[in-house]
Amino acid sequence: MDKRINPFNELYLTETIGSTEFVRLFSPYILKNAEALFLPGNVVLQGVQGSGKSMLLNLLKPEVRLAYAQANERFPVSGRLSRFIGAGINLTRSRSIDFGQRPIDPNHPNDHNIVPLYFGDFLNYWIVFDVLKSVDLLGEGGRHLKLDVSPDASLDTLNTFAIALAQDDCWFGYLRDIRDYKSLKERLSSRITHYLTFLNFNSQYLDAAIAETKTSVGSPVSSVAEHLRKTGVIEEDVELFVRIDQYEELTRLEGLYKQLGPLYRQVVNKAVGLRDPHVSYRIGTRRYAWNADGLQFFGTTGQLEEDRNYKTIDLDEILRRKENAKTWVFPDFAGDVFRKRLAFSGYNCEGRNALLRDVLGKGMEPDDKARGYAGKAPVRAIKLDESWPVSWKGFLTNLAQTDPLSARLAEAWARQRSKASVTNTVPEPPYPWSRSYWRKERLDQALMQIASRCGQRMIWSGREEVLQLSGGNILVFVSLCQHIWGAWLRTVRDRLSDDTAIPIIEESVQSVGIHEASTHWYQKITEDARGDTRQRFVRYVGALLEKQMFDDLPLSYPGHNGFSLSLDDLEGDAVVAQLLNDSVAHGDLFDAPHTTKEKNRKPRRKWYLNPVLAPHFRLPHVRTKEPMYISLDEIRGWMREIGIAVGGPATTVRNRSNKGEALDPGQASLFGEDGRQS
């Protein structure tokens, strides 16, 4: 084992490794809430980049099924849930998205209207061919390994199946002369090759026989499922699950045929909308590509309906933290992934039940963090008001020497409305600002301010904080681990030998890695559609919230690391709604409904930066108390500031007082020099 290798170097490992390695690395924890994936019925598996969609869909592949059996490992699902065979298509790797790179019939006046028909036909042939590959794989290997879903792969049965399938009307005669299984596969393969040859500009025309036998999307897949059962190749209760992965690629088509993307989505929708009892589709898609605007069927005005046509498994929803931390599945999932990565790299993880905690520790206590920030000049942690009595100033100054966090909280206490009396009568311990909830709600804001006043970046470390910063996204978690491990490797590079002990990584080193990862995720925002605009918005909002929270001297608004807008306002401006929805769909912002504190009781929604961005923007990641309430005009003002054209009256972005009220325009520039370093 080479200890210099970072176990987290490859972020997308489960997408690139072979089936045998997949068995070693797959974490079953995510399955608890994804049972629908193994039950009959169509499923849309959605989540932001890196949420684990492809990893889950890979579980449906026959190669993976066989690899589990070969390794003598229990398949992650059993009983009724395991009675399936899987096949499918990855829209990128199959090159389906190459449709649109070339007109099929340049002389046809409405070529772009007929291209989706060919796209659907290609999907049919690819999927059917893949079903047969699954039958072969599971038939040959599965019987040998005694897999109970193994098809009957005897030549007679398969030939009977092939002849029956070929006679189905859905092929429009293209398979009419098929007499056995072998020639069926050859014919299917030949048609796929014809398509790819044409799309790659290696032939001048598409075969005329193809133009005359275009199949209707979904029909051949239904037919193959029906005949597999009828002819006894698979048992009646064995489900056929068809994966369609990277559906979001259909929203990214560029160039001449950019307008075809929505039509291709409609083609896929049509297959799903067939509600065929013989076939269940599993569509893997990023959040932004699956929305109400794109659910129409090709060629009709009908559209997919959730629960009627499909169920949704929202991985983001499953993996993000809810109010009840005990039901949060992500920590176990992440811990298992962590352990498997280390074991895969050669570390001995036997008997280590809490490996993530062993390596990252619990993280620093808030008081220790404050002391770390304050260093040798802890008085920097507090700001004294000139009007305060000397005795109170002296008390705070002394307290800061031993407990800068308590001193900062005491300072805030004295600044809060109706609590100023404390400055005249210095209390004895236990101090009122140490009361459980008051203190807990303000800890992170106080620490953020102390770090800033002392010229330090915030320290992030320990298992809990790494999990929280991951925001329920396994890719973010692995990325954080990658940078933390990288930072650690740099500190031991001269000492590396054959010592293969699992390390305990110092908090200060973890923090460096976490800051690197945070910046990396901030820079990644630009990678997707409208990323430049979204990144500008995130940058603007991040800087604005950081300033608001820093300037809040009484710590009255510890929840202002997020903002809230009424649904009325949100629905009142399509441009605002689109930017916010886009930012959420791409994972830049997290959103949630919340109960309003206002008398009008209007429903509201709140938004926070993705927690992994918090270190980059020097913001606390913990959500507590009320977010910052803003109006439609205010957010329009933000958007104007970053060059987005929005409606409404021209407004100036307003600073807020440390009481949370908007101040008059004419205040000092929002991002001007604020002299915040003492």
Partner 1 sequence: MSQPLEDKINAWIRDKGFGPLIQEVNGKVLLLEQELFEEYEPTRGPYPSFRTRLAAWLDNIVDESSQRSLFQLVPHLFFLGPRELEVLYRVAFHTQIARWLIDQIGLTFDQASPENALQQAVASSWFCPITDSMRINAFYHLNHISGRDFRPDWRSLRQFGSEGKIRRYLTDQGIDRIVLLEDFTGSGDQMKKAVEFAVPFGMPVLVVPLVICPIGAQVGQLLSSQNPTVTFSPVISLQEAGFITAVARPDEEPLFGELRLIAIDMFNGLPPDKQIDVYTAFGFRGTGSLVVMYTNCPDNTLPLVHHSSPAWKPLFPRASRL
Residue 430: asked if its preceding bond is cis (omega within 30°), the reply is yes
Phi, psi for residue 632 in degrees, rounded to 5: -60, -40
Binding residue for partner 1 (CB under 8 A) from 515, 606, 621, 656? 515
Between CA 67 and CA 56 the distance in angstroms is: 15
671 is a contact residue toward partner 1 (CB under 8 A): no
Between CA 476 and CA 470 the distance in angstroms is: 5
494 is a contact residue toward partner 1 (CB under 8 A): yes
Task: Identify each DSSP E strand in 257-384 by its residue range.
Answer: 279-285, 311-314
Asked whether 573 and 648 are in contact (CB, 8 A), the reply is yes
491 is a contact residue toward partner 1 (CB under 8 A): yes
User: Which of 353, 677 has the CB closer to partner 1?
Assistant: 677
Between the CA of residue 47 and those of 54, 242, 248, what are the distances in Å? 10, 19, 11
Binding residue for partner 1 (CB under 8 A) from 451, 555, 619, 639? 451
447 is a contact residue toward partner 1 (CB under 8 A): no
Binding residue for partner 1 (CB under 8 A) from 452, 535, 548, 610? 452
User: Which residue do the tokens 């912002």 mark?
Assistant: 589
538 is a contact residue toward partner 1 (CB under 8 A): no
Q: How many CB atoms lie within 10 A of CB 81?
A: 16
222 is a contact residue toward partner 1 (CB under 8 A): no
- Which of the stretches 46-54, 194-202, 491-499, 548-556 binds partner 1 when contact is defined by CB under 8 A? 491-499
User: Which of 442, 618 has the CB closer to partner 1?
Assistant: 618
Q: What is the DSSP letter of 386?
A: T
- Which of the stretches 13-21, 314-322, 490-498, 571-579 binds partner 1 when contact is defined by CB under 8 A? 490-498
User: Which of 25, 492 has the CB closer to partner 1?
Assistant: 492
487 is a contact residue toward partner 1 (CB under 8 A): yes
Structure tokens, 60: 């449906």
6 is a contact residue toward partner 1 (CB under 8 A): no
User: Which of 33, 456 has the CB closer to partner 1?
Assistant: 456
Dihedral Cα 333, 335, 338, 344, nearest 10 deg = -80
User: Which of 309, 452 has the CB closer to partner 1?
Assistant: 452
2 is a contact residue toward partner 1 (CB under 8 A): no
User: Which of 515, 606 has the CB closer to partner 1?
Assistant: 515
Asked whether 597 and 626 are in contact (CB, 8 A), the reply is yes
- Which of the stretches 11-19, 413-421, 446-454, 588-596 binds partner 1 when contact is defined by CB under 8 A? 446-454
Binding residue for partner 1 (CB under 8 A) from 519, 581, 651, 667? 519
> What is the distance of C-alpha 665 from the center of its chain?
39
User: Which of 486, 648 has the CB closer to partner 1?
Assistant: 486
User: Which of 270, 515 has the CB closer to partner 1?
Assistant: 515
- DSSP for 80-104, written as a single string: GGG-EEEEEEETTTTTGGGTTSS-S
User: Which of 386, 494 has the CB closer to partner 1?
Assistant: 494
348 is a contact residue toward partner 1 (CB under 8 A): no
Between CA 65 and CA 85 the distance in angstroms is: 9
- Within 13 Å and on the Cβ side, how many CA atoms surround 666? 1
* Residues 597-656 within binding reach of partner 1 (CB under 8 A): 618
Structure tokens, 315: 């991985």
Q: Which has the closest alpha carbon to 482: 13, 2, 1?
A: 13
CB of 489 to partner 1, least distance (A): 10
| Amino acid, res. 6 | N
238 is a contact residue toward partner 1 (CB under 8 A): no
Rg of the chain over Cα atoms, rounded to whole angstroms, equals 30
The SS3 call for residue 223 is helix
Structure tokens, 454: 């002392």
User: Which of 458, 632 has the CB closer to partner 1?
Assistant: 458
- Which of the stretches 75-83, 168-176, 331-339, 449-457 binds partner 1 when contact is defined by CB under 8 A? 449-457
- Which of the stretches 61-69, 272-280, 473-481, 513-521 binds partner 1 when contact is defined by CB under 8 A? 513-521
* Residues 371-390 within binding reach of partner 1 (CB under 8 A): none
What pairs with residue 359 in β-bridges?
none
Which residues contribute to the site for partner 1 (CB under 8 A)?
Answer: 451-452, 454-457, 459, 487, 490-491, 493-494, 508-509, 511-512, 515-516, 519, 618, 677
